[in-house]
Structure 1
């Protein structure tokens, strides 16, 4: 018997009155989060949903998320978290593809009409039988979109005997962003998810007197789910929920709630630093640990953060398919900025070529991963699973080098690599160089089609506030600082760059 819901249940047993969740003025103790999750489990069982069934959850970072997430797990069912930016057609696809029996959907707001999209997606999905609305107004028992969770939970008992699940039973199906073809659902077992939360917990020292996490990474994404919610609940921390990242608001919340642990993607750290330097916003003083993942952090951002906050950013690496954490710059070992550290406990990494053959020495090569964190496979897609799995090893599609101490450094996504006139150009390397220019605040480099070279190198740049430089001047500077075959011939200035819900720069929209 192993069920991921133990990360909540154990803390609710040992520290029932400790604050589990802060949302605005709301402070909810562990006992209450566990009780509502029990009611959700009772509701699912009452509606005929149980062990092995799939239940979808479309909800931003609100208290509803852990209530429903852990309720589904307690019932022995599988959670299918959905990105809140999906359109109706995409919601229907995910419900059909995962064989979801029910959908819990946030009502949304005028800016994010999630209730409307969710309802339409639910109606278009054939096998999905139950639609529960998570109302925008606290405790509202009615919604124009359907049955409110509060009406449904009325009369449900607050105790529940958690269904016995085996370590290899599927706890969560996480859909990968699908940069190629349709999104695929990575099946992660209770053991995958629980081990990843436990190892993450052991890796980060606890703050005496308890930790406070800022949860601004979306909880529907593997990074926020494992490293913030599940790890935070396991160590009885307080989790401050923030539904949308806004740098000023994040800094204010960190100060107000004495946040000790912040996990984010590089663009979040960049935005907070920009806010501090441009407007003199006070630097939060309680922060003890900052963790980055999701994309490579520019070394300039790492350096600036260390100087500004007095805390280094620890970079890690992982994917939805690896629950997600696979490697980390671990405390107790030297931190090497610009690397993703070394494999976490119980996980192996190696560099391979396209035929799965091991590449010795520095590489470069594609990262392959084996260990307790690797998914069971893609749900309902044996061929897609066979393409990426071999004898327990999972191939990531990420190209990296490895130094003599065993630290890995990502050069780029295999598919982001630009081939210009037969030469391999790695955008990440050029972005690093561009960001050393004082006028450049953020850069994204992509390949664009070119008749004679195949691809040409193009950079999109956000300038530092008040900087004046022309695109031609910046191209000249690049020519002096980068090899002839790789410097960007085209530069376009932008006020902002397109990003995913998790804050990764959407390069496919720039191409």
Structure 2
């Protein structure tokens, strides 16, 4: 197997009539997804898209994303998924940086904001010469391309590619400077999708139903949900935007067995649980809850296990690692707060700033470095950034971690989030875990703010639980004094109604500063 798109070919051959995607009233079997992807691949080739060409894709969580994704790959081209919230100027940057020559954008019949922003960005870039709209038609969800029914050859064979040929360019969130495109090869993404069998205990003979609320333009949803489900004949239930009440309804109605989300999504599900009915029905269907994208607060983990009857499997990875690098494994004893051990075929270690190894002592803190089939080829057209991130096959993550005696890893925080107060290192994750145990605290983020003499001061930004209006910011400061050493308790506390987040639900700490 070479081309990643052979996953959909195999699924359509083995399980032609199994439902691959559920989206509202639409239910598309694997054979139909493959045939539509073949037709789109033929259309793209006829429009001049060559093997190896970059094709940008702006599409929410609807079947057309999956059809376009496999269609681009089947044509031998490279998928460049774009965040659907980007505006024209930002889209133009991504088109130019990726050197995309074609651009597919979803034209929703109920709203044209996305396709209008896409067209704006496309018109700014001369080197991108082909614009294609894709949507679902009014009759039975027929796929439309440029407002016409898709009519390409649906029996077209998938174009062969090499394991190391680029399949997808995933853009990082750009927390510092402009976003960079991580080039992922066909083997990177294929092996990562297949690894879900080990982590989730998947049996293709007993197909799973996945709820997809993670955006498909992001590595987590794309690999662990879409590609993983395709690899093992599972059904993907799509939801374009995260809505906790709607998630709970779909979990029950569609008998969802696998849910994957970022920590804020689990927090949202817990908050919506009081307003939901029939949640106990989940106990007979939901068997896997997976978390990644950010550190999962231990208190959220405990509450979810207590109220949903399912232990959350916490994992770790980045766009640059396809994304999964480590995970807790279904059926194995969980260690609260741990991101598990490296998945098969992946190595991990802790390093110092100069790339030297941190002594292999339980509890020692260092930057996480990763090596294996999941590590990207490099940053697209950025040799210097690639050289700074990868050495001898090891990718430095920018995340601080520690390891216990049994090889389980724990995230301490981002290297850039480390707070140095008066010469002492303070790790936000440690403080956040403890602050979450205060009855008034629903969710919290700890950050460092500039200080004239200490360098940085510690600040906690928190959302309150209902019923604790009388708890003041000063009260939480005083409580913190009793929990932490004098150099690391938060001197400043601020209560807010909500946090700024990325489209994937991660808290944007830089905006809290």
Q: TM (normalized to structure 2)?
A: 0.95
Pairing 1:258-277 to 2, within 5 Å after superposition: 258-277=255-274
Distance in 1, Cα, partners of 2:88 & 2:484: 45
CA, structure 1 residues 434+280, in 2 after alignment: closer, same or farther (shift >3 Å)?
farther
Asked if 1:155 corresponds to 2:154, the answer is no
CA, structure 1 residues 412+112, in 2 after alignment: closer, same or farther (shift >3 Å)?
farther
Asked if 1:117 corresponds to 2:117, the answer is yes
Contact in 2 for aligned 1:20/1:29 (Cα 8 Å): yes
Give the SS at the match of 1:273: helix
CA, structure 1 residues 179+163, in 2 after alignment: closer, same or farther (shift >3 Å)?
same
Contact in 1 for aligned 2:106/2:114 (Cα 8 Å): yes
Pairing 1:108-187 to 2, within 5 Å after superposition: 113-135=113-135, 138=138, 149=145, 151=147, 154-187=150-183
Tell me the residue number matched to 2:493: 491
Contact in 1 for aligned 2:200/2:330 (Cα 8 Å): yes
Aligned residue pairs, count: 507
Deviates more, 1:367-376 or 1:153-162: 153-162
Deviations 1:293-329 (A, max 9, x none): 0001000011111111111000000000000000111
Distance in 2, Cα, partners of 1:345 & 1:243: 32
Alignment gaps of 5+ in structure 1 = 142-146
Deviates more, 1:353-362 or 1:337-346: 353-362
Distance in 1, Cα, partners of 2:67 & 2:275: 39
Distance in 1, Cα, partners of 2:219 & 2:419: 28
Distance in 1, Cα, partners of 2:380 & 2:57: 17
RMSD of aligned alpha carbons:
1.9
Tell me the residue number matched to 2:372: 371
Tell me the residue number matched to 2:42: 42
Asked if 1:356 corresponds to 2:355, the answer is yes
Distance in 2, Cα, partners of 1:400 & 1:112: 44
Distance in 1, Cα, partners of 2:397 & 2:53: 29
Pairing 1:426-505 to 2, within 5 Å after superposition: 426-468=427-469, 469-505=471-507
Give the SS at the match of 1:69: helix
> Which of 183, 188, 196 is 2:184 aligned to?
188
Tell me the residue number matched to 1:66: 66
Contact in 2 for aligned 1:42/1:160 (Cα 8 Å): yes
Tell me the residue number matched to 1:144: none
Deviations 1:252-275 (A, max 9, x none): 000000000000001111110111
Alignment gaps of 5+ in structure 2 = none
Contact in 1 for aligned 2:132/2:146 (Cα 8 Å): no
Distance in 2, Cα, partners of 1:466 & 1:237: 42
Distance in 1, Cα, partners of 2:136 & 2:448: 42
Contact in 2 for aligned 1:305/1:311 (Cα 8 Å): yes
Distance in 2, Cα, partners of 1:476 & 1:268: 30
Distance in 1, Cα, partners of 2:111 & 2:304: 32
Deviations 1:4-26 (A, max 9, x none): 01111101011111100000011
CA, structure 1 residues 473+278, in 2 after alignment: closer, same or farther (shift >3 Å)?
farther
Distance in 1, Cα, partners of 2:225 & 2:163: 22
Pairing 1:208-223 to 2, within 5 Å after superposition: 209-223=206-220
Give the SS at the match of 1:412: strand
Contact in 2 for aligned 1:275/1:281 (Cα 8 Å): no
